[in-house]
Amino acid sequence: MPSGSPTSGVGRIIAGRYQLLNRLGSGGMGHVWLAHDQRLACEVALKEIVFRDPAETDEREARVARARAEARHAAGLRGHPHVVTVHDVLEHEGLPWIVMEYVAGAVDLRDLIRRHGPLAPAECARIGLAVLDALTAGHERGVLHRDVKPANILLAPDRAGAPYGRVLLTDYGISVQPDAGEPRYTLASVLVGTSGYLAPERVTGGAPTPATDLFSLGCTLYYGVEGRGPFDRESHLAELTAVVMEDPRPAARAGALGPVLGALLEKDPARRMSAAQAEAGLSRIVTPEADAYARTQTDLGSQPHWDGAPPPGPAPEAAGFGSLPVFPRPGEALGFGSPDGYPSAAGHSSCGYSSSGYSSPSGHSSPSGYSLPEQPGGPQVFDPGPGRQPSTRPRVLHAVLAGLLGLAVAGAGVWYAMAQQSDPEGAERPYGEAVGLGEPLKAGDCVLADWPGATAFRGTPRLSLDPSCREKAPDGQVMAFVAAGSAAEARQEGPAACEKRTEGVRDRLADVRSFAVVPTEAGFEAAGRRTACLVLGAHGPVYGPLGEHRRPGSAFADTATMQRRDCLDVRSHRDARLVSCAGPHDEQVLGFTRLGADVTLTEARTESDTACAREVPPREYGFDPSVYTAGSWTSEGAWKSGTHFVVCTVRRQNGGTMEEVEP
């Protein structure tokens, strides 16, 4: 079976020791696998070099050398708390494999933003301090990273259980030691790095320096706080041009982080903020002094995002996508990228080297596009269509640890404040007067959420039911319950438990958030002694049932209910239905992408296929490009909410049906 197939390696034994369990993700250089170390009886991540195109063999020597360099450079930073540990590099059947640590529960920054939306400036600064610490350690050894970007920053649970407390820099695959006489491993046809995150001096042919990594860090932090990169454009070439010729887009949400971003994104490397200056600026945001704290308290851009809805700003900047860890996304085109698609490692034990590592997750249309008539209560449906000062890393670590306290209370749109309030109607209102429900929620209930002040995920929503789960364009659905011994226990543990219980369905949807409805003291018994776990649209209604509550054969009301790995029966250009993947089907959903803020829905009908072919290419999922092609679906709902997300699918080029045996 060819190496490029996603199942080609399952069960193989590499170097007589590592048994491949499943493919975690893919990138420009190859695949990353979850593997069992038979000698130590634990799990590791293995990076495999893959040559998908025979023409790529011309680059074989350079790419093999590049992999060895990655292992050497990353191993030189072994033990650093913010660098993914590389344990070994070995050869198997003539190609190198890199053995890295693996741990459950991590997600890369890109997917975290797509799941929850942009971060608060203080949280973004905390992440920036950790990455800066890792970069500084490399710079001290003469190693430049050269591909700092959101997909290469992993956030993993720390020992205290904070879900994103651990910050890890990964992928030294294109790093270089400028003064060591090493060759710079650049593929003949591409510029090594990631467009939109490359420093302007690199785009124009200049040599890499520590300042180039700092520019990329500035772009990454901008993405974290704004929800998109400062030079995001419709193509890689346009992004590279913008990096060199244009100013970054003004930051609307950065708050206190704004001045640091501006100094890091200075185009002249001689005038760019130094690492020591960046450390000082970020530290003041994470652990502000008394006078600075008074200022940031009234700065809307500095409020913790996960305690409520994204602060006001242009809708596309606040738009987020569901993180998709169960089914991997393709890697970046200009470098290896982080190994997207890491599933949870429940049941697996890592090799115990540290608590860091890999575990992040990461259309069908005719040229004229598809469209459906207006649905009752919902939108029109598918249209497929120069010097560095001495490092003070201990101070950085102190600041990072100080920031974890704020992170511990971070969550995804949970409500439990009303559980502390008195309920004048007692048990007749299980969740309190503000929520307003007279009966406890049941599994599968579709709800409408009326938020105070019309700002979603801020305050206490008044909930009502949509029995049909379609007629009133529901905002979400009850997906699970969490039992508790007392109202106090429900109040304390319910929100985090709901986040975990709904993770599976949220990871397969494009734009949703978890939300916990906790019973009051007086209503605890009436609520069945349990917290109701909702999945709500992050930026608008979901327009129909979600997950297992969808019935096979039912027509989709909106792209919001489409999930990764859904199989579709396309009845017409206006009618797509959910069917079992075990039988014949016309398309399969692979993932999601987003079109630009200036793209209209009409334009999306002709541009979405191209965007999906570029961002979610079927070949990365094992589909033969000579047989299959990318397709897409769009809906008016995504344009009403400002998210502009597109559902990306795969279909046969000849229009035939797909079968169960296909990837």
The tens digit of pLDDT for each residue in 201-226 reads: 988 888 889 999 999 999 999 999 99
- Which has more pLDDT, 193 or 653? 653
The alpha carbon of 182 is separated from its chain's Cα centroid by a whole number of angstroms, namely 34
AA identity, residue 478: V
Average of per-residue pLDDT values in the chain: 74
Burial class (CB in 10 A: 0-12, 13-18, 19+), 544: buried
The tens digit of pLDDT for each residue in 473-524 reads: 899 999 999 999 999 999 999 998 998 889 888 989 999 999 999 999 999 9
**129 closest CA partner among 388, 404, 412:** 404
pTM of the complete model beyond 0.75: no
> In the predicted model, is pLDDT for residue 549 greater than 80?
yes
Torsion of CA 186, 191, 195, 199, to 10 degrees: 90
Specify the CATH class of 1-362+386-410 in words. mainly alpha
On whether the CB atoms of residues 473 and 537 are closer than 8 A, the answer is no
The alpha carbon of 523 is separated from its chain's Cα centroid by a whole number of angstroms, namely 37
Rg (CA), the chain: 24
Burial class (CB in 10 A: 0-12, 13-18, 19+), 291: exposed
The structure tokens listed for 70 are: 């990655």
Rounded CA separation 227/251 (Å): 10
The structural domains of the chain, with segments of one domain joined by +, span 1-362+386-410, 417-537, 552-652
- For the ranges 10-24, 180-194, 335-349, the maximum mean pLDDT occurs at 10-24
Which secondary structure element, helix H or strand E, spans residue 19, and what is its range? strand 18-26
Taking residue 622's Cβ as centre, other Cβ atoms within 10 Å add up to 19
The alpha carbon of 85 is separated from its chain's Cα centroid by a whole number of angstroms, namely 22
Burial class (CB in 10 A: 0-12, 13-18, 19+), 24: buried
Rounded CA separation 495/514 (Å): 9
Rounded CA separation 597/321 (Å): 15
**Would you tell me the crossing angle of helices 275-286 and 121-140 to the nearest 10 degrees?**
150
Q: Residues of the chain with pLDDT > 70: what percent?
A: 68
Edge-first strand order for the sheet with 628-633 is: 575-579, 567-572, 587-594, 645-652, 628-633
Residue numbers annotated as active site? 147
The tens digit of pLDDT for each residue in 330-376 reads: 222 222 233 333 333 334 456 644 333 333 322 333 333 333 333 43
Residues in the chain: 663
What is 252-279 written as a DSSP string? SS-GGGHHHHHHHT-SSTTTSPPHHHHH
pLDDT score of 60 = 56
Q: Is 500 annotated as a binding residue?
A: no
Burial class (CB in 10 A: 0-12, 13-18, 19+), 141: exposed
Rounded CA separation 409/60 (Å): 48
